Chain A
Amino acid sequence: MPAPLTIADVEAVAALAHLELTEDEKQLFTRQLADILTYAEQLQAVDTTGVAATAHVNAHEAERDDALRPSLSVADALANAPDADAELGLFRVPRVMG
């Protein structure tokens, strides 16, 4: 059984999920996620020995021809960006390396 959820766990998960939580949110989510996970622990009572996992319910093959087709224009692709350079055709982001 997993150990009880701590604030440190929540901070680690928030970092993985790229969420900068406030202190209040960390407290709240620690309590609420612990409640939900405790509730979910009832699944441990189910005997799943030898049971395959179902990730999706599709039964058909999903391949299509690898054919060239029109796609979004650069202008359309950039139109919703908060910071784009339409002339150069790129998204601008803050500096990655110092």
Chain B
Amino acid sequence: MSPLAYGASGIAADVTAGRVSAMEICRATLDHIAQVNPSLNAFNLVDEERALARAATIDRQRASGASLGPLAGVPIALKDNLCVRGMRTTASSRILETFVPPYNATVVSRLEHAGAVIVGKTNCDEFAMGSSNENSAFGPVRNPWAHDRAPGGSSGGSAAAVAAGCVVLALGSDTGGSIRQPAAFCGVTGIKPTYGRVSRYGLLAFASSLDQIGPIARSASDAALALSVIAGSDPLDSTSSRDEVPDFSALLDGHVAGVRIGVPRAFISDGVDTDVRSAFDRALEVLRQLGAVLIDIDLPHGKYAVPAYYLVCTAEASSNLARYDGVKYGYRSPRAHDDLRAMYSRTRNEGFGAEVKRRIMLGTYVLSAGYYDAFYLKAQQVRTLLRQDYERAFESVDVVVTPTTPTPPFKLGEKTNDPLQMYLADIFTVSVNLVGLPGISVPCGFVEQPGPTRPERLPIGVQLVGRMFDEATILRVADAYERATEWNRVALK
């Protein structure tokens, strides 16, 4: 058992009270990572020296009587698409294999200001494009619960690192489910905040109208603590909201009575694995017993979310990834000394992996003359209809609930030859990004089954979706649910 099992708020309280030093926590964390990471491949980089220096600074601040932040001494891992000044940041891509950012992402500055200790960068799908973490130039991450299974993606390393007790907190990014789906697959809690709640400055962009940074933790209360730290207006991101950020932790009062929870029955009727279905039904029963009112709702355009999403996100990706051209940073093909256009094309073909190329191609196609109206514009109109679906639903409910994923964690290699099958795994998460809503995945059970060498327990997650900028309600319900169940506290064997 990791010494970090008591959570981010527990560590911060103990460090602040002097019951433990940030240095002791940091050493224990680094030891645990060294022990378990070789079999998981969850980290692209562990920066021991930097982490220990930061921990020593926190301890010195405490000794000098300075007040410490809400994450004092809390070790945290960052998805490798978040820039840290001086720390290699690759987006798990060969094209950025040597990139060392000259600046910090806003979330990084905020975390460090709050006393967090960044221990390293986590593996992910290349440029956050994937649902299994298999699209990484540095190899797949293994699911800590079953090493032959995918940890989910694209923030697979962050979710696996938290599940395996390497860190109590990690940041991921979520464009179509990339925080919530790996959180579900790894049995941890992950929240995608409302679009605009968290500054995207310093996040390597995939699809700018959908990307959002958020925390992955062992509990909704730790996720709330981290979200309060990273959220808020930022002059460096014009899409960041100027809305006041509530103290999310202070709002976790366990109160669920009377909360109206919408269940989109038709949307979740097809293609859901029977074990996921029964775990979901049991979760609904727990919420009902806590006093929530379950109401059937309709999201008539929900079934169009996946095709709309994959047209919108690839279009934006094809534009965002145009910047990787072998000139300003990263890889340049050695096979092109004589011709600029050949240098661009060879660099990009050698530097990007298959899924990234596929998405750039698809995005370029749907934006090209003759196809723009049929695909891209159509997808954006469907996006409007989806938004109206949710607006209508939120007239009568406070939260919408679905399974996070249609299946338990699938096997590594199971879907790699069929991109479309992989995309369909995102059915319950992508609509939330298209509309901009906040969504959280909470552990709600396990599938027990025989594994290659011993029985396996495969985690399942339930997703709660809230109104725009109402993370408080979904965090409150998630926290109450976690206190009423024990799914987020089951020890990994």
Residues of A whose CB lies within 8 Å of any CB of B are 1-2, 9-10, 13-14, 16-22, 25, 29, 32-33, 35-37, 39-40, 42-44, 46, 48, 51-58, 60, 62-64, 72, 76-77, 79-83, 91, 93-96
* Interface members, chain B 362-392 (any A CB < 8 Å): 362, 364-365, 368, 370-371, 374-375, 377-385, 387
Of B99, B103, B327, most A-chain CB atoms within 10 Å: B327
14 further interface pairs, Cβ-Cβ under 8 Å (given A20-B349, A58-B239): A19-B348, A20-B342, A20-B346, A32-B419, A33-B358, A43-B304, A48-B378, A53-B381, A53-B384, A56-B239, A57-B209, A62-B239, A72-B102, A82-B326
In the complex, chain B residues whose CB is within 8 Å of the CB of A20: 342, 345-346, 348-349
Which residue of B98, B339, B346 contacts A95 across the interface (Cβ within 8 Å)?
Answer: B339
Q: Mark B404-441, 1 if CB is under 8 A from A, else 0.
A: 00000000000000011001000000000011100000
**Residue B340, interface by CB 8 Å:** yes
**What distance in Å separates the Cβ of A73 from its nearest Cβ neighbour in chain B?**
8
B361 & A40 in contact (Cβ 8 Å cutoff): no
Q: Can you name the residue of chain B whose Cβ is closest to the Cβ of A91?
A: B327
* Interface members, chain B 129-173 (any A CB < 8 Å): none
A95 & B361 in contact (Cβ 8 Å cutoff): no
Which residue of B345, B346, B382 contacts A46 across the interface (Cβ within 8 Å)?
Answer: B382
Which residue of B304, B338, B349, B380 contacts A53 across the interface (Cβ within 8 Å)?
Answer: B380
With A13-B368, A39-B307 as known contacts, state yes or no: A52 contacts B332, CB within 8 Å: no
In the complex, chain B residues whose CB is within 8 Å of the CB of A80: 98-100, 102, 328-330
A52 & B384 in contact (Cβ 8 Å cutoff): yes
CA distance A52 to B385 in the complex (A): 9
In the complex, chain B residues whose CB is within 8 Å of the CB of A62: 238-239
A2 & B384 in contact (Cβ 8 Å cutoff): no
**Residue B77, interface by CB 8 Å:** no
* Interface members, chain B 299-342 (any A CB < 8 Å): 301, 304, 307-308, 310-311, 318, 322, 325-332, 336-342
B307 & A40 in contact (Cβ 8 Å cutoff): yes
Q: Can you name the residue of chain A whose Cβ is closest to the Cβ of B321?
A: A17
A17 & B382 in contact (Cβ 8 Å cutoff): no
In the complex, chain A residues whose CB is within 8 Å of the CB of B354: 25
Closest 3 CB pairs of A and B: A57-B436, A80-B329, A53-B380
Q: Mark B170-201, 1 if CB is under 8 A from A, else 0.
A: 00000000000000000000000001100000
**What distance in Å separates the Cβ of A90 from its nearest Cβ neighbour in chain B?**
11
B361 & A18 in contact (Cβ 8 Å cutoff): no
With A91-B327, A96-B340 as known contacts, state yes or no: A32 contacts B358, CB within 8 Å: yes
CA distance A25 to B176 in the complex (A): 26
In the complex, chain A residues whose CB is within 8 Å of the CB of B343: 93-94
**What distance in Å separates the Cβ of B238 from its nearest Cβ neighbour in chain A?**
4
A83 & B332 in contact (Cβ 8 Å cutoff): yes
Q: Can you name the residue of chain B whose Cβ is closest to the Cβ of A80?
A: B329
CA distance A2 to B365 in the complex (A): 11
With A19-B349, A20-B342, A54-B380 as known contacts, state yes or no: A79 contacts B419, CB within 8 Å: no
In the complex, chain A residues whose CB is within 8 Å of the CB of B238: 62-64
B357 & A54 in contact (Cβ 8 Å cutoff): no
CA distance A84 to B274 in the complex (A): 57
In the complex, chain A residues whose CB is within 8 Å of the CB of B41: none
A40 & B310 in contact (Cβ 8 Å cutoff): yes
Which residue of A9, A19, A42, A91 contacts B360 across the interface (Cβ within 8 Å)?
Answer: A19
Q: Mark B221-236, 1 if CB is under 8 A from A, else 0.
A: 0000000000000010
CA distance A36 to B357 in the complex (A): 14
**What distance in Å separates the Cβ of B198 from its nearest Cβ neighbour in chain A?**
14
Which residue of A2, A52, A60 contacts B381 across the interface (Cβ within 8 Å)?
Answer: A52
CA distance A61 to B365 in the complex (A): 31
A-B contact pairs, 26 of them (CB 8 A): A13-B365, A14-B361, A16-B364, A16-B368, A17-B364, A21-B357, A29-B361, A32-B358, A43-B307, A44-B374, A48-B382, A53-B380, A53-B383, A54-B380, A54-B381, A55-B209, A57-B387, A58-B239, A60-B241, A60-B242, A64-B238, A77-B102, A82-B326, A94-B337, A94-B339, A94-B342
A42 & B241 in contact (Cβ 8 Å cutoff): no
